[in-house]
Amino acid sequence: MHTGTPIMTDPATAPPVIQTRAIVKSFAGVQALRGVDFAVHPGEIHALLGQNGAGKSTLVKILNGVHKSGSYSGEILVDGKPATFASTSDARAHGVGYVPQEIEVLEQLSVAENVFAGHTGLGRGPIISRRRMETEARALFEELGLAIDPRMLVASLTSAQRHLVMIARALSFRPRVLMLDEPTASLSGVEVERLFSVLRRLKAQGKTMIFITHRLPEVLAICDRATVLRDGRVAAEIDRAHFDEEHFIFAMSGQKLQRLYPDHVAPPAETPPLLSARDLSIAGRFGVNRGVSGVSFDVRPGEILGLAGLLGSGRTEILHALYGRIPFSGSIAIDGRPVAIARSSDARAAGVALLTEDRKRDGLLFNLPVGANITIGNLAPLSSHGMVRDAREKSAVLAAMRALNVKARSPQASVAHLSGGNQQKLLFARVLMSAPRVLLLDEPTKGVDAGTRHEIYRLIVDLADKGVALVVVASELEEVIGLADRCLVVADGRIVDEFQRGEGSEDKVLRSITTAQAEMQQQALAAGAGRT
Amino acid sequence: MERTVERDSGFEGSGRAVRDRLTRFVAVGEVGVLLALIVLVAFFYIVEPAFLSERNIRAILRVVSFIGIIAIGQTILLVNGEFDLSVGAVAGLSAVCSAKLMTALALPVPLALIGGVLVGAGIGLVNGLVVVKLKIPAFIQTLGMLFIGQGLIQVVTNGYPVYPLPPVITAIGYADFLFGLGWSFVFFILAALMADFVLRRTVLGRNMYATGGNPEVARLVGIDTNRYKIGAFMTVGALAAVAGMFVMADLASGTTSIGSGWELNVIAGVVVGGVSLFGGAGTMAGGLIGVLLLQVVTSGLVVVGVNANWQQIAVGVIMVLAVGLDILRRRYFIAGSSAAPAEPPTATTPS
Domains of chain B: 31-331 (1.10.3470)
Are the C-beta atoms of residues A50 and A230 closer than 8 Å to each other?
yes
Decide if A344 and B349 are in contact by the 8 Å CB cutoff: no
Residues 147-186 of A with CB under 8 A from B: none
| Structure confidence at residue A259 (pLDDT) | 63
Comparison of pLDDT for A19 and A6, the residue scoring more:
A19
> For residue range A457-491, what is the model confidence (pLDDT) as tens digits?
999 999 999 999 999 998 778 888 889 999 999 98
Is the model's pLDDT at A389 over the cut of 50?
yes
Nearest by CB to residue A416, choosing from B5, B280, B334, is B334
- Whether the domain at A1-8+18-95+177-192+207-255 and the domain at A266-351+437-532 fall into the same CATH topology: yes
| Structure confidence at residue A186 (pLDDT) | 67
Query: Minimum mean pLDDT among A157-171, B182-196, B214-228: which range?
Result: A157-171
Residue A228 to residues A41, A48, A190, A252: CA-CA distances in angstroms? 16, 6, 27, 6
Residue A384 pairs with which residues in a beta bridge? A387
| Structure confidence at residue A4 (pLDDT) | 42
Distance CA A104, CA A420 (A): 30
Tell me the pairing of strands A486-491 and A494-500: antiparallel
Comparison of pLDDT for A458 and B176, the residue scoring more:
A458
Is the model's pLDDT at A52 over the cut of 90?
no
Measured in angstroms, the CA of B233 and the nearest CA of chain A are apart by: 21
Is the model's pLDDT at B102 over the cut of 90?
yes
Helix runs in A466-505, H state only:
477-483
| Structure confidence at residue B347 (pLDDT) | 33
Nearest by CB to residue B214, choosing from A365, A388, A422, is A365
Listed residue (A233, A181, A164, A294) closest to B349, CA to CA: A181
Is the model's pLDDT at A117 over the cut of 70?
yes
Decide if B336 and A288 are in contact by the 8 Å CB cutoff: no
Q: Chain A contacts of B337, Cβ < 8 Å?
A: 360, 416-418, 420, 423
Is the model's pLDDT at A292 over the cut of 50?
yes
| Structure confidence at residue B76 (pLDDT) | 97
Average pLDDT over residues A523-531: 69
pLDDT band at A163 (very low <50, low <70, confident <90, very high): confident
> Which region holds residue A232: left if phi is over 0, alpha if psi is between -120 and 50, else beta?
left
| Structure confidence at residue A120 (pLDDT) | 67
Domain A266-351+437-532 has CATH 3.10.690.10: no
Tell me the pairing of strands A208-212 and A30-40: unpaired
Q: Up-side HSE of residue B53: CA atoms within 13 Å toward CB?
A: 11
Q: Chain A contacts of B81, Cβ < 8 Å?
A: none
- Judged on CB neighbours under 10 Å (0-12, 13-18, 19+), A345 is middle
Distance CA A200, CA A220 (A): 14
Residue A177 pairs with which residues in a beta bridge? A96, A208
Amino acid at B31: V
Strand ranges, E, within A222-372: 225-230, 233-239, 275-282, 292-299, 304-309, 329-334, 337-339, 352-355
> Which region holds residue B158: left if phi is over 0, alpha if psi is between -120 and 50, else beta?
left
What does pLDDT average to over chain B?
85
∠ CA B81-B267-B84, rounded to 5°: 55
Decide if A53 and B7 are in contact by the 8 Å CB cutoff: no
Are the C-beta atoms of residues A310 and A517 closer than 8 Å to each other?
no
Is the model's pLDDT at B18 over the cut of 80?
no
pLDDT band at B156 (very low <50, low <70, confident <90, very high): very high
∠ CA A330-A331-A333, rounded to 5°: 160
- Judged on CB neighbours under 10 Å (0-12, 13-18, 19+), A8 is middle
| Structure confidence at residue A124 (pLDDT) | 65
Instruction: Provide the angle, in degrees to the nearest 10, between the axes of the packed helices B308-334 and B262-272.
Output: 50
Average pLDDT over residues A356-366: 89
What does pLDDT average to over chain A?
86
Average pLDDT over residues B169-195: 89
Comparison of pLDDT for A417 and B69, the residue scoring more:
B69
| Structure confidence at residue A487 (pLDDT) | 93
Comparison of pLDDT for A251 and A48, the residue scoring more:
A48
Chain B contact for A425 (CB, 8 A cutoff):
no
Instruction: Count CB-CB contacts under 10 A for residue A149.
Output: 14
Decide if A447 and B2 are in contact by the 8 Å CB cutoff: yes
Average pLDDT over residues B73-94: 96
Nearest by CB to residue A417, choosing from B207, B336, B348, is B336
Distance CA A108, CA A472 (A): 41
pLDDT band at A2 (very low <50, low <70, confident <90, very high): very low
**DSSP character for A38?**
E
Chain A contact for B2 (CB, 8 A cutoff):
yes
SS3 A316: helix
| Structure confidence at residue B16 (pLDDT) | 57
Domain range summary for chain A, segments of one domain joined by +: 1-8+18-95+177-192+207-255, 104-174, 266-351+437-532, 366-435
Decide if B346 and A364 are in contact by the 8 Å CB cutoff: no
- Judged on CB neighbours under 10 Å (0-12, 13-18, 19+), A311 is buried
Distance CA A469, CA A460 (A): 10
Listed residue (A457, A498, A443, A507) closest to A299, CA to CA: A498
Are the C-beta atoms of residues B275 and B281 closer than 8 Å to each other?
yes
What is chain A's Cα-based Rg? 25
Q: Up-side HSE of residue A481: CA atoms within 13 Å toward CB?
A: 19
> For residue range A494-513, what is the model confidence (pLDDT) as tens digits?
999 999 888 878 888 888 88
Is the model's pLDDT at A157 over the cut of 50?
yes
Is the model's pLDDT at A184 over the cut of 60?
yes
Is the model's pLDDT at A276 over the cut of 60?
yes
Q: Chain B contacts of A387, Cβ < 8 Å?
A: 201-203
Helix runs in A145-244, H state only:
159-172, 189-204, 216-222
3-class SS letters over chain B: CCCCCCCCCCCCCHHHHHHHHHHHHHHCHHHHHHHHHHHHHHHHHHHCHHHHCHHHHHHHHHHHHHHHHHHHHHHHHHHCCCCCCCHHHHHHHHHHHHHHHHHCCCCCHHHHHHHHHHHHHHHHHHHHHHHHHCCCCHHHHHHHHHHHHHHHHHHHHCCCCECCCCHHHHHHHHCCHHHHCHHHHHHHHHHHHHHHHHHHHEHHHHHHHHHHHCHHHHHHCCCCHHHHHHHHHHHHHHHHHHHHHHHHHHHCCECCCCCCCHHHHHHHHHHHCCCCCCCCCCCHHHHHHHHHHHHHHHHHHHHCCCCHHHHHHHHHHHHHHHHHHHHHHHHHHHHHHCCCCCCCCCCCCCC
Average pLDDT over residues B121-141: 96
Q: Chain A contacts of B204, Cβ < 8 Å?
A: 386
> For residue range A304-319, what is the model confidence (pLDDT) as tens digits?
999 998 777 888 899 9
Phi, psi of A492 (to 5 degrees): 45, 45
Instruction: Count CB-CB contacts under 10 A for residue A260.
Output: 8
Decide if B209 and A407 are in contact by the 8 Å CB cutoff: no
Q: Chain B contacts of A58, Cβ < 8 Å?
A: 345
Those residues whose C-beta lies under 8 Å from the C-beta of residue B22, and which sit 6 or more positions away, are none
Average pLDDT over residues B120-138: 96
Average pLDDT over residues A331-349: 93
Distance CA A166, CA A140 (A): 12
Residue A369 pairs with which residues in a beta bridge? A414
pLDDT band at B170 (very low <50, low <70, confident <90, very high): confident
pLDDT band at A7 (very low <50, low <70, confident <90, very high): very low
Q: Chain A contacts of B213, Cβ < 8 Å?
A: 365-368
Average pLDDT over residues A288-307: 88
SS3 A249: helix
Tell me the pairing of strands A45-50 and A208-212: parallel
| Structure confidence at residue A528 (pLDDT) | 66
Is the model's pLDDT at A79 over the cut of 80?
yes
Distance CA B91, CA B251 (A): 14
Distance CA B344, CA B2 (A): 9
Q: Up-side HSE of residue A430: CA atoms within 13 Å toward CB?
A: 29
Residues 452-491 of A with CB under 8 A from B: 452-453, 473, 475
> For residue range A213-251, what is the model confidence (pLDDT) as tens digits?
877 888 888 999 999 998 888 988 999 988 887 788 888
Distance CA A353, CA A463 (A): 13
- Judged on CB neighbours under 10 Å (0-12, 13-18, 19+), A88 is middle
| Structure confidence at residue B194 (pLDDT) | 97
Q: Chain A contacts of B216, Cβ < 8 Å?
A: 361-362
Is the model's pLDDT at B344 over the cut of 60?
no
Decide if A365 and B3 are in contact by the 8 Å CB cutoff: no
| Structure confidence at residue A6 (pLDDT) | 45
Interface confidence: ipTM more than 0.95: no
Instruction: Count CB-CB contacts under 10 A for residue A270.
Output: 6
Are the C-beta atoms of residues A32 and A55 closer than 8 Å to each other?
yes
| Structure confidence at residue B9 (pLDDT) | 38
| Structure confidence at residue B5 (pLDDT) | 37
> In the β-sheet with A494-500, what is the strand arrangement from edge to edge?
A352-355, A438-442, A469-473, A304-309, A486-491, A494-500
Is the model's pLDDT at B199 over the cut of 90?
yes
Are the C-beta atoms of residues B270 and B68 closer than 8 Å to each other?
no
Decide if B333 and A414 are in contact by the 8 Å CB cutoff: yes
> For residue range B277-312, what is the model confidence (pLDDT) as tens digits?
889 989 999 999 999 999 999 899 888 888 878 888
| Structure confidence at residue B337 (pLDDT) | 35
Decide if B351 and A323 are in contact by the 8 Å CB cutoff: no
Are the C-beta atoms of residues A203 and A41 closer than 8 Å to each other?
no
Decide if B340 and A383 are in contact by the 8 Å CB cutoff: no
Burial A279-290 (b: 16+ CB within 10 A, else e): ebebebbbbbbb
Sign of CA dihedral B23, B25, B29, B32: negative
Q: Would you tell me which CATH number, out of the four given (3.40.50.300, 3.30.530.20, 3.90.1150.10, 3.40.640.10), belongs to the domain A1-8+18-95+177-192+207-255?
A: 3.40.50.300
Instruction: Count CB-CB contacts under 10 A for residue A326.
Output: 16
Residues 376-395 of A with CB under 8 A from B: 376-380, 383, 386-388
Measured in angstroms, the CA of B29 and the nearest CA of chain A are apart by: 13
